Amino acid sequence: MPGYSEMCTLFGFASKNAVAKVVGKLIDAGVVEKDSRGKLVPVALTETVPLLGHIEAGFPSAAEEVALDRISVDELLLGKREKMYLLRVKGLSMVDAGIYEGDLLLVERTCQAKVGDIVVANLDGDWTVKYLREKKGKKYLEAANEDYPDLWPQLSLEIGGVVRSVIRTYGNR
């Protein structure tokens, strides 16, 4: 979290007193708290959810409802919160990777990616999400749908992030 001086600049406040009032309200609302050094830290915005075990996606098997652990969805999805952003998927080029139109992609902002990563990339001025591939020392983008061709850069290929998670909701939104 930024310090009081930086928040003055970010929020356009004239004094640290104004920031202190806002911070006090955020603490009262349970959005932030002070750590042992007096630094502001965000509070998990979601409760933990019990991890009940594994489920067969093949043949059915007996299952017991015994919590193996509790997982903070907030930490799971936003481990590197300051580097993360969301994008909503438009199109069908990644369906074979389990990414469908309307899904939300949780993306880590980085220009570093490994071959095989699903990346958000700027290809010759247009943004897309695809697998990063390499052939004969040249990087290109590959869809996860055979109806879409490989995309080779004519001018440039810049990585804007690496997809870390797909979020999909079912039923009523």
Catalytic residue among 61, 90, 93, 138: 93
The per-residue pLDDT for 154 is 95
Residue 173 lies in a domain: no
* Contact predicate 160/111, CB 8 Å: yes
Tokens, residue 65? 């409802």
Mean pLDDT by 10 residues, the chain (173 residues): 78 84 82 80 64 55 60 64 82 94 87 95 92 97 95 94 88 60
- The reported pTM is 0.63
**Does the active-site annotation cover 130?**
yes
Identify the CATH number of the domain in which residue 127 sits.
Answer: 2.10.109.10
Q: What is the pLDDT at residue 81? A: 66
CA distances from 71 to 12, 46, 110, 119 (A): 37, 10, 26, 26
Residues 120 and 153 in one domain: yes
109 and 52 together in one domain: no
Domain boundary, last residue among 77, 95, 116:
77
29 token code pair: 């609302």
In the annotation, is 93 catalytic?
yes
